[in-house]
Structure 1
């Protein structure tokens, strides 16, 4: 057995174990950490297939951003895990059957596209450039317009998400930055002249003191 084949079986076994522990772990933090382990092993499998761009994208996007954010959310919020796990083993056989059917369907679809006999052999120049550089050249030459359209769609999605979270609500306090910039000193501080007033026992003491002073005079 070659080293590449042995590493593929090792990474695949760890990947399957981690994926199984994601849905069976009792702690949500442990489940998220097992999912990080699964992503790392999937990236290693991509590296064995010489798909460096997909491997580094999987690590940077999912492990470095999505899963870290998910871990922070899980650790900050108090989830009732027992309520979420009610009926898990009752529905597990049906979920397993559905998962096997989906896996078989994906295998049937994908195996038809992996006809290595018809695949063109890479040229020495392509081998020297590497997978990531060739992918970049292909994206920014033949697929430049679809890439720009996808970028615009993602930008619109980001703006829409910000607009949904920044909508005006009665229970939220919102300050307009433009109003803060245009503020003047007179808007912040206003001096109001007031006459001194004495109330309660202080007024009685002041009246008694004035009466005493008048009598002595």
Structure 2
């Protein structure tokens, strides 16, 4: 067995364990840290098959920006673990059933294509996979890339709406009211009588 094969199986084991800990961790911070480890390990697997652009994009975008931001958000939010665990027993059988079906489907596809997998074509030394990936994404699959970006935008808006729907411990802003605001709504002039202090000589005479 070659060194690449040993490294692949080692990274695959780490990825499976980290992914399992993401969904079983009781602390949100622990789950996020294992998710960062899973992304980093997946990036190393991309690097093994010489997909350097995808590996670096996964580390820079997800590990370096999204996951770190998510980690700080989770640490700063006042998350109530009791509410997160309330429906676990109710949806656990359904989740296990769906997960089992997904594992069986992936195992069926992998086992059927394991022996019939063709060998990779030879790659020239001056081949630029970043250029090939960019050309394929923004020429042949440009519509699919735009649809994927739109789906991600809708998912982000839906996540924000679902998170803020039942919370009452924050202030809501109405853009239409902010646009119609006037100076009288922001500033209030208060008239106060002037206070004149007595001279120091008169104050001493009054004391005597």
Range of TM-score over shorter length = 0.5 to 0.7
CA RMSD of aligned residues (A): 4.4
The answer for unaligned runs of 5 or more in structure 2 is 162-170, 195-208
Structure 1 residues 107, 57: CA separation in 2 closer, same or farther (over 3 Å shift)? farther
The answer for unaligned runs of 5 or more in structure 1 is 199-217
Question: 1: distance between equivalents of 2:86 and 2:134?
Answer: 47
- After TM superposition, the runs of 4+ consecutive aligned structure 1 residues lying more than 6 A away are none
Matching residue of 1:52 = 52
Residues paired across the two proteins, number: 177
Structure 1 residues 8, 78: CA separation in 2 closer, same or farther (over 3 Å shift)? same
Question: 1: distance between equivalents of 2:61 and 2:148?
Answer: 16
Matching residue of 2:117 = 116
Question: Deviation of residue 197 (structure 1)?
Answer: 7.8
Question: Deviation of residue 21 (structure 1)?
Answer: 1.5
Structure 1 residues 78, 171: CA separation in 2 closer, same or farther (over 3 Å shift)? closer
Query: What secondary structure is seen at the aligned counterpart in 2 of 1:79?
Result: coil
Aligned positions of 1:43-192 closer than 5 A: 43-86=43-86, 88=88, 95-109=95-109, 115-117=116-118, 121-124=121-124, 127-144=125-142, 146=143, 149-150=146-147, 153=150, 157=153, 172=173, 175-176=178-179
Query: What secondary structure is seen at the aligned counterpart in 2 of 1:26?
Result: coil
Q: Which has the larger radius of gyration?
A: 1
Question: 1: distance between equivalents of 2:28 and 2:133?
Answer: 37
